[in-house]
Structure 1
């Protein structure tokens, strides 16, 4: 599944109800939300910070804290938290491994 700039998408490994980590590439930013609560908080980081989060290298304010049941909580250090179930987090991680959440390449003029 190729990400389209400006559009929200989830991992192709998500269940049929599409509950998952939802991402969009929006200009120089990457936005993240929870499909279970689309009117809830949106975490936003730069593309460089997103890439650092995906690869586990570099500096990024985005953090994933594992939960006791195998899910995760995403946050950027502020009060907003996104809570993901084990199935949602597994689908997201499989999508990361498949390159589905890599930022699209920007053409150089």
Structure 2
């Protein structure tokens, strides 16, 4: 991974395609889940909204995010991916109502990173 794309908070990273932007989809792998957050959040870090996706479902989530799969019968724990054609924004919504909203450029950088394997579990 390119060092310029590694945020100062250990473990969090973004796609190399986001390197020119400070706003992006950020991801962090833990033992059992993958955490996703929005780098635009500027409030108290203790309250930063995050969505946790089970590690076992991460590959399926990435396939849905890139359009390589549908969310029909998606495993429990995969957030809904909602695209707003009028704004170009993509939102992730989990089962408890947490929403992360990304601009078209942020989502495009994330999915480009997915396409080249930057978000495969175990690469950080």
- Specify the TM-score bucket, using the shorter chain as the normaliser: 0.7 to 0.9
Q: CA RMSD in A?
A: 2.1
TM-score by length of 1: 0.82
List per-residue Cα deviations over 1:39-64 (Å, max 9, x = no partner).
32110011111111112355242221
Further displaced range: 90-99 or 66-75 = 66-75
Distance 2:21 2:88 in 1: 19
5+ residue gaps in structure 1? Answer: none
Out of 62, 85, 96, the residue aligned to residue 79 of structure 2 is 62
Q: How many residues align?
A: 103
Q: 2:37 aligns with which of 33, 39, 45?
A: 33
Q: Residue 15 of structure 1: CA displacement?
A: 4.5
TM-score, normalised relative to structure 2: 0.73
